């Protein structure tokens, strides 16, 4: 799909806004328990290199929660919107952000690419069998 390479987004209350100067990856839906609790259902995200994303308002409203040795999660500390996920590798932050698909300003020309951590999905919903499901975890 066509991706213009320039995007904006933000949280529910509008205190945290961001700009991305990069083409975005298609959307991955994560069904792991941490993502389900954090997002309220499943965590659907795109991704970009960290140097392509800038916070364009109220950087003090963005807080990070260290959710495990493997990742931290960025959110608005006023309205609680889940915004970013960043992997931690051997104590270092990875050089890309996963970005909440729902926080991007419309329109976005992205498709759902695949589902991950499917075996940890909730029992109350089904994953469309026509969509790719990563079976490695």
Question: Where on the chain is the footprint of Zn ion (CB under 5 A)?
Answer: 11, 13, 15, 30, 32, 35, 76, 78-79
Using the minimum distance from each CB to Zn ion, give the nearer residue, 13 or 66.
Answer: 13
Q: What's the min distance (Å) between Cβ of 12 and Zn ion? A: 5
What is the separation, in whole angstroms, between the first and last Cα of the chain?
A: 27
Using the minimum distance from each CB to Zn ion, give the nearer residue, 23 or 36.
Answer: 36
Using the minimum distance from each CB to Zn ion, give the nearer residue, 22 or 57.
Answer: 57
Q: What's the min distance (Å) between Cβ of 101 and Zn ion? A: 13
Q: What's the min distance (Å) between Cβ of 2 and Zn ion? A: 28
Using an 8 Å Cβ cutoff, are 125 and 131 in contact?
A: no
Using an 8 Å Cβ cutoff, are 10 and 18 in contact?
A: yes
């Amino acid at each position: 799909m066509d991706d213009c390479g320039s995007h904006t987004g933000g949280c529910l209350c509008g205190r945290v806004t961001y700009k991305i100067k990069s083409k975005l990856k298609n959307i991955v839906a994560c069904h792991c328990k941490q993502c389900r609790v954090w997002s309220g259902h499943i965590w659907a995200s795109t991704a970009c290199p960290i140097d392509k994303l800038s916070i364009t308002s109220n950087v003090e409203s963005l807080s990070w929660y260290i959710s495990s040795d493997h990742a931290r999660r960025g959110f608005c500390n006023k309205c609680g919107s889940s915004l970013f996920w960043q992997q931690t590798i051997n104590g270092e932050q990875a050089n890309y952000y996963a970005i909440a698909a729902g926080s991007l300003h419309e329109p976005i020309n992205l498709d759902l690419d695949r589902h991950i951590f499917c075996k940890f999905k909730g029992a109350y919903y089904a994953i469309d069998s026509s969509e790719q499901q990563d079976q490695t975890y």
